[in-house]
Structure formats: C-alpha cells, structure tokens
Amino acid sequence: MAKKTIRDIDVKGKKCLVRCDFNVPMVDGVITDENRINGALPTIKYLLDGGAKVILCSHMGKPHNIFTEGFGLNKKEKKAVEALPADEQAAAKADFIATALKKDQKKFTLKPVADRLNQIFPGKVTFATDLVGDDAKSKVAALKDGEAVLLENTRFDAGEEKNSEALCAKLAEFCEVYVNDAFGTAHRAHATTAGIVQFGFAKTAVSGFLIEKELKFLGGAIENPARPFVSILGGAKVSDKIGVIESLIDKCDTLIIGGGMAYTFRKALGYKVGGSLLEEDKVELAKQLMAKAEAKGIKMLLPIDNVIADAFSNDANIKVVDGDIEDGWQGLDIGPKTIALFSEAIATAKTVVWNGPMGVFEFEKFAVGTKAIAKALSETDAITIIGGGDSAAAVAQLGYADKMSHISTGGGASLEFLEGKVLPGIDCLNNK
C-alpha cells in the first residue's frame, strides 16, 4: 500500500524526528564514503527549506554489546567480576561497562557526520552528545525553524535494539512528526525504526524521499514489472535466499543463479562440484526449486562453465571447466560461456533485479563474472535495480552507478522486501 511522504504533510514549524542511515565507513574519525549521507540530503533539505525543526538520528556500526545478559563482559572480565565479593560485583560491572562505552563512543560517535552536515548546510546543524539526555533535550529545545540537530548514535542506548517503549516515549517528546528515511534498517523493529510509531507515540509517520524511491523501484519490480523480468541472484548460500528464490519464481520470467550458491544447484543436477561451496542439506531443496520453476514456465539459468582453482586464493592455479569439478579444485567464478548466456538474458530484459556477486569478487582473478554482469547491466535499456550489498559495491567500483536505474541502500532490507516480508519500518508509516 502506498505510504505518505513528507510532501503529504505540512512541516512548517513542526518538530520532525528523522531516522536516517548515517552508518558510514570511517577511519580515525574521517568519513571515507559519503554515499549514505548524500542519500539523505534531499529529505533534510526539503524539511529545512520548509521551515521544520529537524531532529536527525541514526545508528553507527555495532558498538560493544554492553547491554546483553552478562553485561557484555568477555569471559576473562566476567570471571574477574565473579571472583569478587558479592557486594563489590555491581560496581565492578559498572566500571567495565563505563570503560567499554567510552571506547565505543570514540569509535562510533556520529560527531563527524554532524560536522559534515553542517558544512553542507552551513550553520544549520548542531550535534547532541547523547540520544535522549540533557544535551539532546537542550539542543532540541533551542531549535529554530529551518535548523537541525543530529542526536548521538542510537545504539549507545540499550533501548534502541530492544525496541524499548520507555525510549520511544522519550524520543516522542522531541517530535510532532516521525519521518523514516533509513531503508537499510527498515527490516528491523527497533525503537527509532518502528517502535515510536508501533507504540502509538507518533501519530503522524511518513517516509522521506529515499524510502519513497526504494518503494517505487523495488515495489514496481515486484508488483508490475516491465517484461521480460530477469532476476539475478548470487552470493554464498542457498539457505540465505530460499525465500527470495521462491518469491521470484512466482514473479519473474528468467531467474539467474550464480555465486557459491550455484554449486548446490549443480550438485542437484548430478554434477561433481569438488571442493566448491556446497550445502549438502539443501540439494533436495534445489531440485524442488528447479522443478517449481519448470512447472511455472520460468527459465532458470545456472552456470554452464566455471572458473575453478586449486586453492581459495588470488594466487591459485586456475582453469575453466564445463562439467564436473574434480577433487582438489573448487569453483570460484562463472566461466566465459556462462557470462555470454547471462549477458544475453540481460540484453533482452525490460526489468532486471540483481543481488549478489557471481564469484569471489574480493579476489581480482575471480571478479571477472561479477564485472561482466555489471557491464551488461550498464549497456541495457532495461530498468536496472541493484539490491544493495556486494552488488552495489561492484557497480560503484566499476563506475557504472550512474547507468543503473536504482541502487538500493539496504542489502538485507531489499532482500526481505523482494521476498515479500513485511518491513516494520515501512509498515508502521501512514498510508496514503
């Protein structure tokens, strides 16, 4: 169902809590890739120009898990605490937690992101050193129309990943409008991705422009694709993508399987796969999926030749084989005949969705297949949708990003969306 966006509401003078995805790579506090920041800019600019008071929030990385049972202590720390007298254990645990959190705050702070946003929107963005504490309260209270504050890493609060109602209530005090523009975390039911709406605190809940774009392209591919519709799935394991394969068999015209997961299908066809990645317990499932595709008249394309190696290394000896892979060798990329087969299917398509590399993309010797698929996509007139993750990285590295119709900002979220799962961060938004 179509969801309301920030265009559908009056934002002037309103406090808008905006969930972004600022989980950007950083080295020593320096941002090394601004793509996720750039993706959020249209929404932020629209709100600032519209006179909203903008409260931005995001997670950053995976901080030290100090909030789980065991207080996040490693075995050595836990043993040291348990050796203390009972009346001293609580204080010792608190010291360990404080030390861990201090280290994580230095590594995972969003301060560099706030500084960059303030360069893009000069003098309009401040930074709060906590999420719902005194500094956040004072910075939010001081906001004027057309100004923004970025709150500290949401995952520094135990309530974020636990979807704490108490945290949601505190966040709700900051805002009149909730805006979700973080598609990459929309499949998670956390406090700032869904809970604030699910618990009834935010009555007005809309999407930003980034999520609107994701729903337009991914939703269009699922609900009403231009045909022929070709889906390309790669990556390591069949088990990771069972639901997606089953869903796409019901929707696409051609389903291409590559990457490590293809060897389980090859085994199901009766080929020997040597030391290639294999899920033996999924061979029967692979047979069933192929039978289902055939019954529905869906063309399923598997590798017809493979680049194999005598070791999992970029320095390994390699050769190309059409049939069985002998013991002592393993398949690490698709071969030239397969590249031609897959590229031909892409050339005749009107819609293509791609998620997952064709080989061990991190090794130059075995990145040939993935690069060839990216090139084929760059040369087609079809609607091309890249489903995040390694596929998005490959397209960007090869300089083809501007030739794609859409590159998803959420690998896991895009897979779940393609699978037909309900994404909490989307489901909670107001319907049009």
Question: What digits encode the pLDDT tens for the residues 224-248?
Answer: 899 999 999 998 888 888 889 999 9
Distance CA 8, CA 304 (A): 50
Of the candidates 18, 390, 296, the one whose C-alpha atom is nearest the C-alpha of residue 176 is: 18
Q: With 80 as the cut, is the pLDDT of residue 220 above it?
A: yes
More confident residue, 35 or 160: 160
**CA–CA dist 251, 247 (Å, integer):** 7
Q: Tell me the catalytic residues.
A: 36, 237, 389, 412
Who wins on pLDDT, 313 or 64?
A: 313
pLDDT at 71 (0 to 100): 47
What is the pLDDT averaged over residues 136-142?
97
pLDDT band, residue 69 (cuts 50/70/90): very low
Would the pLDDT of 195 be above 70?
Answer: yes
Share of the chain above pLDDT 70, in %: 97
Mean local confidence (pLDDT), 60-64: 81
pTM of this prediction?
A: 0.84
How far apart, in whole angstroms, are the C-alpha atoms of residue 317 and residue 313? 9
Tokens of 107: 């590594």
Q: What is the mean pLDDT of the chain?
A: 92
Tell me what pLDDT residue 64 has: 61
Instruction: Please name each of the domains of the chain with its CATH number.
Output: 6-60+109-211 (3.40.50.1260), 218-419 (3.40.50.1260)
- Between 84 and 140, the more confident residue is 140
Edge-to-edge strands, sheet with 318-321: 318-321, 306-309, 330-334
Mean predicted confidence (pLDDT) in 385-394: 84
Residue of 74, 76, 71 lying closest to 93 (CA atoms) = 71
Collapsing DSSP states into helix, strand and coil, what is residue 297?
coil
